Amino acid sequence: MSARTRLPLFLVSAAGLAALLGFGVAGLPAFGDYHGPYGLVLNHVVLAQRHTTNVVAAVVFDYRGFDTLGEELMLFAAVAATALILREAREEEARQVVDSVQSEPVRAAGLAAVPVVILLGLFVVAFGYLTPGGGFQGGTVVALGLLLVYLAAEHRAYRRLTPTQVVDVFEGGGAAAFVALALGALLGGLAFQQNFLPLGRIGALTSGGSIPLLNWATAIEVTAAFVLLFGEFLEEVMVERRPG
């Protein structure tokens, strides 16, 4: 398809998308005008029923935990499929890998930021059911902290820190732990993914019953999934393979 043909098609598609988005935005309620009875009810009952001060975490890992299970498995399947497609390229087969950081200040500052970013991610995970955050958000931050090793140092350092065999186990293990916790309630005669642990004291890290466990299982799976994706894409970009 020539450029002269592609441009009109793009303009027509873009105009249609813009019209659709404009129609959707025009139908939104005014800012601050909320008429969601579901959310209002949860705001009133979540402290007594789940002992979590973050209503979103209670929804994600309890009230609508079945949806989160689907998201968890979709992420696992998508990353696993991507790895299967891209794993043909390995650094061991490369002629050379050119990615060294030339600036020592950049290297020093970047490597110094690695533990800080990882610690921030772990904090976001740990307190995700007490304050804004959670396994999805914190897991992404931890993965980005590990990616800083590549950005500040080199590809081989990132590979040594995140060996593929170990990351594969953590990705599958995180997803499996979430499924096991969800099904474990059934073995105890409860509803699917219903809380089966003491709720604890409101505002403490031990509150929320089984929500913290589901939260950490999600964090492990999300962190491993992003680290695995980063690694596979970096292999594709950084590795200059020998001619076949």
- The answer to whether residue 16 is domain-embedded is no
Q: CA triplet 54, 59, 60: central angle to 5 degrees? A: 100
Local structure of residue 61 (DSSP, 8 states): I
DSSP string across 136-199: HHHHHHHHHHHHHHHHHT-HHHHHHHS-HHHHHHHHHHHHHHHHHHHHHHHHTT--TT---S--
Global model pTM greater than 0.75 = yes
pLDDT in tens, 83-105: 888 776 554 555 555 556 667 88
| pLDDT, mean over the chain | 86
pLDDT > 50? residue 30:
yes
Q: Is residue 204 part of a domain?
A: yes
| 21 inside domain | no
> Strand, coil or helix: what is 73?
helix
5 is a domain residue: no
Q: Residue 15, Cβ neighbours under 10 Å: how many?
A: 10
Length reported for the chain: 244
Nearest to 158 by CA among 206, 123, 111: 111
Q: Flag whether 46 is in a domain.
A: yes
In a domain? residue 186: yes
**CA–CA dist 131, 97 (Å, integer):** 42
Tally the domains of the chain.
Answer: 1
Confidence category of residue 1, pLDDT binned at 50, 70, 90: low
Sorted by sequence, the CB contacts under 8 Å of residue 83 that are 6+ apart come out as 168, 228, 229, 232
Residue 160 counted as domain residue: yes
Radius of gyration of the chain (CA): 22
The answer to whether residue 17 sits within a structural domain is: no
Domain that holds residue 54: 36-89+99-241
- Encoded amino acid at 214, one letter: L
